[in-house]
Amino acid sequence: MENQIPEIKSLYEKFIKSEKYQLDKEKSEWEGLSIEFKNFWENKILNGSKDDLDNKEIDKIVGILDSKGKGNNPNSPSVANTMIRQSTWREMFQGIKSNDDLKLLLDSIFKEQNEIRLIKLIDDLYEKNKNIKIESLTNKNGVAINDFLFIYDPNHYISVVSLEKRKKIIESFGFKNGPDFDKDSFGEKIVASNKAILEGFKEILGDLEFTPRSISDFLYSEPIKSKWDQNTENKQHGKKKFF
């Protein structure tokens, strides 16, 4: 990868300086959307009566989490194209709200900063959902959990939500300390893949300013996307084609 570093750094610099991408605006936007999600989580999922949650409220949050959410248009800010149905999102949030142990576990996951404890918590969630069976909450690609982690803390998590995509990125750029995607636990794959990509780009970009979101957006822009994902269309991220 070392011989690619100057090219990648140059492409990223061009990306963040393009007229269509404003880094300060992006940071402010996702800080606001994160607050909106946290308010929903605190007031509607953790607290309130079990009947105090309707599809209209859920759909507003799904619109933030999923670019294909109900009511969204191509310019709507959203985390990613999750490939999760609207009805599944609704059932997921209702299922989480109705299970006290599950929602408290998720709340602990969102707030945990220690990597070892976070891995354990995510693995506990994976095991717990084997019995609860909330659809798509802990699917093998980790889409929902990675989506939740990003929107709760966009300063520390990338918004490339699919583990399959993360694997391609790590392997294509030769990033170090990534997980063993075949053998590691669900939690290890989620936590280690996020860290490997962020640390890999920190090494590449040097003194250039970046956020986890700007890296994620950059990865889904051309021509960089073709370096790691040549066989899929550019449809897996909330905003794309910046320059």
Distances (CA, A) of 235 to 183, 214, 222: 29, 17, 12
Amino acid 238: pLDDT: 57
The stretches in the chain having pLDDT less than 50 are 233-235, 239-243
- pLDDT one-digit tens code per residue, 181-211: 999 999 999 999 999 999 999 999 999 999 9
Cα–chain center distance at 4: 26
Maximal C-alpha separation, the chain: 57
Q: What is the value of pTM for the model shown?
A: 0.93
3-state helix, strand, coil in the chain (%, to 5): 60, 0, 40
Q: Containing H/E element for 204?
A: helix 186-205
Amino acid 230: pLDDT: 77
125: CB partners within 8 A, 6+ apart: 102, 105, 106, 109, 137, 138, 145
Distance CA(221)–CA(238), nearest Å, equals 11
Amino acid 63: pLDDT: 98
Backbone phi and psi for residue 66, each to the nearest 5 degrees, phi listed first: -135, 125
